[in-house]
Every structure is written in C-alpha cells, then in structure tokens.
Structure 1
Amino acid sequence: MDHVASSAPGARSVPVCYRHPDRETGVRCTRCERPICPECMVSASVGFQCPECVHGGGPAHQHTPGGGGAGRTMAAARPRTVAGGPITADPRLLTKVLIGINIALFLVQLAVGESFTQRFEVIGQAYTPLIPGVQGIAQGQYYRLLTAMFLHAGFTHLLFNMLSLWWIGGPLEAALGRARYLALYAVSGLAGSALTYLLAAPNAPSLGASGAIFGLFGATGVLMRRLNYDMRPLFALLVINLIITFTPGFNIAWQAHVGGLVAGVVTGYAMVHAPRRNRALIQYGTCALVLVAVAVLTLVRTGQLT
C-alpha cells in the first residue's frame, strides 16, 4: 500500500515517497510502482526507477547469445538522475561544499576587514575608501562578477542565504547531479551579477549568494512542474522573497535576484526537459548561451562607463 499524506478527513490523498515519507510526490517507479521523490529517482529508458529496483530489485544484467549455449553477461547501465547525471553516494555533497566556501570567506571578511570585501564585491566604477584609485568591473576587474557570489554583508545575510541554499539546493543537487547542479549555480549567480552591473548605479556595491539561490528557486519550479508536484508552497515562498526584494528599506540588489531567477528558469528547463538524444549537449549548450548573455551585458555596461 502506498504511503499517503492527508491534511484533513475526506481530503484527497497525496502519495509520498516510500523512502522519505515527509516528501509528497506524483512520480512512481516504473518497475515496482512505488512513489519516489527526486532524490530517489533514477532515470530509466522509460520514466524513472527507484534505487532498490536499479541496484537489486530487478534483473541487473542482460544476457546475450553466446557459443555452446552459454550466455555472456552485460552490465546494466549506470543509474542516472532525472537530468541524466550519475547517482552519487552523497547527493548533497556539493551543496555542503558551497556552504563551506561561503562561511570560510565570510570569516576571511571578518578577519581581514572591509578592504577585502571592497576588493571582491560587484561594483561598476568607483573610488573605494580603503583601496587607492578607481576600482570596479569597468576597470577590467571582471572577477568581481564571480567573487561577489561568495561574500556577504553580515551574519544575518549569510544565515538566510545558507539556509535557503541547504533547503533548495540539496534536493535539486540530488535531482540534477553534481556537474549540472554546479553549472546551474554558476550561471545563475553570474547572470545576477551581470544584471546588477548593467542596471545598478556604478558606485553601488553588491554582494551575496542570493542571485545563484534565486536561480535554484527557478530551476526547482521547473523540476516540480515536470514531476507534477504541488507548486503552491514554492510559489508562496518565491512571492514572499520577491516582496522583500522590492520593499524599500531592505537595501537589496533586486537586479541580482531577477537575473538569477531568469537564468535559473532557462537553464533548469534545459536540464530537465532535454531529450535523451544529445541531452548533455543541449544542457551545457544552454549554460553556454546564458554565459554569452552575461558577457554581452557586461561588455555593454563597460562600454557605457568607459
């Protein structure tokens, strides 16, 4: 019997993953028909299978005719995630590494002081108090588009971003696989930095992982839609975040959030909807197109400022 979740007597039952009873899902293993969540899904020739069916619940080998009536054994294909990435022992490893990098660099910010932050945050063109001369991306410091993704303005800023990264990034990493997840994170963060550079005042600094995290939000929405999940909780959380983003007084770089969200939706769509034929080419090709857009925005703004 399926595990189901019901909020009230008579309410429509919603299946939950048989391995993670706290996660609702609309997807079932094509072999045993048990409901499975994205972390448990293994891409199969048709639909998805659960880890138990892949590793031992079904035929693990295929026999082909051989001489003398004997058969030759062919190993089954390596199990894959929804997006075609390899299944790993720790599906949240990369998320943990990213959180660790953010925390480590925040400690460096505290130890070194404001001069470190001013050297690596997004800023178009300005005189900074602790660094002599004009600084900014317009001066050729393009590395700021990347480094700003790992800096934070304070403990509260870091805490909320890292909690969001853990809650949203962990399941998404399990569903996409490490390489695709890292590509999504990188292009989303860079898109957020590029849009900030293009639209914000040239002397307005910006920093934080929220551009990349909004990209994860967007990709999660695409994945949930693909798997027929109830998207209302995600929409509610996204609306709350967008309200905070555009509320005066919070001093939030809305450009980074919007840029990351758009890049995340576009890249996430390619990740989960790419056909099996040439799947990796389509997925990483989309990432490359987003990076081209980032380069174009950056060059346009640099031309304006110089």
Structure 2
Amino acid sequence: MFVRNENFKTFIRLYPIVTCIIAINILVYLIIFLDKITPSGIGYSILSSGIGFNAAIAYGEWWRLITPIFLHITFPHILFNCFSILLFAPALELLLGKWRFIAAYLGAGFISNLASFIFQPMGYTHLGASGAIFGLFGIYLYMVAIRRDLIDKTNTTIIVVILILGLISTFIYPDIDVLGHLFGFLGGFILAPFLLLKVKENPYINNEQP
C-alpha cells in the first residue's frame, strides 16, 4: 500500500487528486518563495489572506479554515508534508474514490483548523497540511481497529509505527500545532466509518494492485 513503484504518468492517472494536492502545495510554496527573492506582492497576498489567523476567522473570513492546508513557507515543512502525502494518500484515494478522498482530506483539515480556532487564542496563526495528513492516519487507524478486512498485518504494523513516531514528534518538536495534529487525527477517525461504509475490499491486499 505504501510502496510507490508507478512511473510518473501512471501515478497521475491512478491518483489524480493526490497529484493535484501535491501540485497545489508546491506551486503555492514556489510563489511565496519567489516573492521573497523578487517581490511582486502576489506571494505575500496569498500568504496573508490564506494563513490560519484566528482573529480574522472570528471576523468572518471562514475560508481560512481550509486555505492553511495548502500553505507552507519553509522547504523542510513542505518537503516533509508532500513526502507524507505521496506515501500515505494514494492508497486511500484508490480505496475511497476521488470524491470521498477529497471529503476525507479537506474534512480532516477543516476539523484540525477549527480546533485551533476554538481552543487557541485570537492572535494565533498556523499553516500547513499536517492536520489533513494526520486525518489520513486517523482513517488508517480506524481500519486497523475496526475494519481489519481492509488492511493486512504488514501494513497494520507500518501504520502503528508511523502513528507512534508522528505523535512523538508532535510533542517534542517546537512550533508544531499540537491541537491541530490531534484533532486532525481525531477528525479522520470520526469520518472513517462514513467514508468506508460502502467499501467492501482493498485491492492492495487482494493482489489486484493497479
């Protein structure tokens, strides 16, 4: 499930939503980065109008509950998040289908950002795809705990190890939105039974890999 051996063209064909998410993240990052080198104001405008800013959300800028999912300002941040999406999102897009995967990714990200809005102070700002990514982990954990027919022992072990490492890093590294991570994870777990309701089998564990 988590070993990517498709070529570029096949990856795009099989996982168009994952491809779009990664492409949007990279494009927005490049616009913001280039604006620092040759200021045009475009990158600054995107960042300032899209970052999760609780005071602005309180004044009615509700799009900030979604837009931070696609914003990154440091290379290590976007590299880690895009790599995580590349590894863990394709299997869920194949399993859930395009529209339910979109609902899973954006829904978990929304729940993560909403939690930051509710529980953090008005001056709090945040950005990054981590909440949505942890939401994907929440779906996987639901599969491990409840829908064991959809995941085998090998991938169960991988998920458990990744979750443990992810939760440890959430608490030990500075400048991490801990609530965002935890509620993104919880959001994915809560959404999972609805998203997986009509899913009967996982092609990755039935020797029918694309």
**Range class of TM-score, shorter chain:** 0.7 to 0.9
What is the rounded CA distance, in whole Å, between the counterparts of 1:218 and 1:275 in structure 2? Answer: 17
Does the C-alpha gap of structure 1 residues 157 and 228 become closer, same or farther in structure 2, counting only changes over 3 Å?
Answer: closer
1:140 is paired with a residue of what secondary structure?
coil
1:238 is matched with which residue?
A: 163
More strand as a share of residues: 1
Asked whether the 8 Å contact 2:95–2:199 carries over to 1, the reply is no
Task: Give deviations 1:232-276, integer Å, cap 9, x for gaps.
Answer: 2211111111111112x5210011111111111111222223589
The question of 1:229 aligning with 2:152 is answered: yes
Larger radius of gyration between Structure 1 and Structure 2: 1
Task: Give deviations 1:11-47, integer Å, cap 9, x for gaps.
Answer: xxxxxxxxx9x79xxxxxxxxxxxxxxxxxxxxxxxx
Structure 1 residues without counterparts, runs of 5 or longer: 1-19, 24-88, 126-135, 277-306
Asked whether the 8 Å contact 1:91–1:177 carries over to 2, the reply is no
Task: Give deviations 1:97-134, integer Å, cap 9, x for gaps.
Answer: 11001111111222245453222111112xxxxxxxxx
Asked whether the 8 Å contact 2:96–2:199 carries over to 1, the reply is no
The question of 1:122 aligning with 2:52 is answered: yes
The question of 1:201 aligning with 2:125 is answered: no
Scaled by the length of structure 2, the TM-score of the pair is 0.78
Q: Using the TM superposition, give the Cα deviation of residue 223 of structure 1 relative to its aligned residue in structure 2, in angstroms.
A: 3.2
The question of 1:269 aligning with 2:189 is answered: no
2:126 is paired with a residue of what secondary structure?
coil
Greater RCO (CA < 8 Å, at least 6 residues apart): 2
What is the rounded CA distance, in whole Å, between the counterparts of 1:260 and 1:113 in structure 2? Answer: 27
What is the rounded CA distance, in whole Å, between the counterparts of 2:99 and 2:199 in structure 1? Answer: 18
Query: Which of 57, 60, 79 does residue 159 from structure 1 map onto?
Result: 79
Does the C-alpha gap of structure 1 residues 275 and 234 become closer, same or farther in structure 2, counting only changes over 3 Å?
Answer: closer
1:83 is matched with which residue?
A: none
What is the rounded CA distance, in whole Å, between the counterparts of 2:151 and 2:73 in structure 1? Answer: 38
Does the C-alpha gap of structure 1 residues 153 and 199 become closer, same or farther in structure 2, counting only changes over 3 Å?
Answer: farther
What is the rounded CA distance, in whole Å, between the counterparts of 1:241 and 1:198 in structure 2? Answer: 23
2:94 is matched with which residue?
A: 174
Query: Which of 138, 141, 153 does residue 218 from structure 1 map onto?
Result: 138
Structure 2 residues without counterparts, runs of 5 or longer: 5-11, 36-41, 201-210
What is the rounded CA distance, in whole Å, between the counterparts of 1:97 and 1:157 in structure 2? Answer: 18
Q: In structure 2, what residue type is equivalent to 1:91? A: L
What is the rounded CA distance, in whole Å, between the counterparts of 1:272 and 1:221 in structure 2? Answer: 12
Q: Which moved more, 1:183-192 or 1:197-206?
A: 197-206
1:147 is matched with which residue?
A: 67
More helix as a share of residues: 2
Task: Give deviations 1:199-228, integer Å, cap 9, x for gaps.
Answer: 122212100011111111111233353325
Q: Using the TM superposition, give the Cα deviation of residue 169 of structure 1 relative to its aligned residue in structure 2, in angstroms.
A: 0.3
Scaled by the length of structure 1, the TM-score of the pair is 0.55
